[in-house]
Amino acid sequence: MYFWKCWRETRVSFYVFLFIAVTLAALLWKLMDFTMSELPPKQLFALAWVILLFASGALLPLAGISFGATGISEEFAHKTAGFLLTKPRSIRYFVWTAWAANAVQFLTLTGSMMLVGTSILSWRYHAPLTGRLLLAFVPGLIMTFLIFGMTYLLAVLHKNGRDGFLSSLGGVIVFPIICLALEHFWQIHLPSPADMYPVGMSELISHPELASTLPPFWPLVGWLLVALACPFIAQLVLERTEL
């Protein structure tokens, strides 16, 4: 019911993101062959893998912020909450159903991008796929859930998806700047979702073989919990909201 309705509202965006994700993943080897064919296959594979990680790390959070702005907050913005909330289900049901409908779409997006990308790269460069390599997708996936959860919560607080989207976008841009400034000027390290990544971006580009480094466990768990806390807070907020 509500799951179907949420899917119906986001399916066009989902198909667009899926098309981009699969196309990127599928055509990556062609791009590598075209631009860096002089490199040995092992190095090409490592570099292609890093580019795939970056591409997913950019695309999936974008999907997260876009999907987070849909869901139950839009019921208030479109004045359909009076219809939905007189259905015999709890607020918890509506909040988590909308969240789950989007989560399934992210998992499908991540899975598709990962499967298509890794299969083609592995076939093209005759490189074995290891569990360690696949685990490199986990921080990106949790980051997506985090950004999605934050957007979802902000949209609920604003009771408007667009405002939630803009606030979240602001957060995504401003928070890393604050972290960098604190680190640079005062040597203060704020806990940041970047802690989930075992190797920095510039380091990974210069040493692509580091892509198989295992991500740190506790930051992953911590930020996953934060990501899950967002819809929970949204539920608590809505349970105290009057129409």
Partner 1 sequence: MNELAIGTKDLAKTYAGIRAVSGINLTVPRGSIYGFLGRNGAGKTTTIKMLLGLVRPTAGSALVLGMDALSEHIAILQRTAFVSEKKTLYPSLTPSELVRFSRGFYPTWSDSAVEKYARLFEIPMKQRFEQLSNGNQTKVWLLLALCQGADLLVLDEPTTALDPITVDQLMHVLAEDALDRGCTIFFSSHQLEEVERIAEYAGFIDHGKLLMEARLDDIKSEFRLITAAGSSLPAQTSSQVLSVDVEENFYRYVVTRDAEDFAAELSRNGATVASIATLGLREIFLQLVRKEQ
Binding residues for partner 1, per CB under 8 A? 1-2, 4-5, 8-9, 78-80, 82-83, 85-90, 242-243
Least Å distance, CB 74 to partner 1, is: 10
Instruction: For partner 1, give the closer residue by CB, 203 or 239.
Output: 239
Kindly state the smallest distance separating residue 151's Cβ from partner 1, in Å. 21
Closest CB 238 distance from partner 1, rounded Å: 12
Beta carbon of residue 97, minimum distance to partner 1 (angstroms, whole number) = 12
CB 54 within 8 A of CB 201: yes
CB of 229 to partner 1, least distance (A): 25
- Placement of tokens 């930051």 in the chain: 219
* Chain Cα centroid distance, residue 3: 20
Cα–Cα distances in Å, from 208 out to 48, 76, 202, 205, 215? 9, 47, 10, 5, 15
The one-letter code for the residue type at 161 is: G
* Pick 97 or 118: Cβ nearer partner 1: 97
Task: Confirm if 215 and 135 have CB atoms less than 8 A apart.
Answer: yes
Nearer to partner 1, 42 or 89 (CB): 89
Rounded distance between C-alpha atoms, residue 111 and residue 47, angstroms: 20
Instruction: Please state the closest distance from residue 3 (CB atom) to partner 1, in A.
Output: 10
Q: What angle do CA 52, 56, 60 make, to 5 degrees?
A: 175
CA 83 to chain centre: 31
User: In the chain, where does DSSP find H-type helix?
Assistant: 2-36, 41-68, 73-77, 81-84, 91-125, 131-135, 138-158, 161-186, 201-206, 217-239
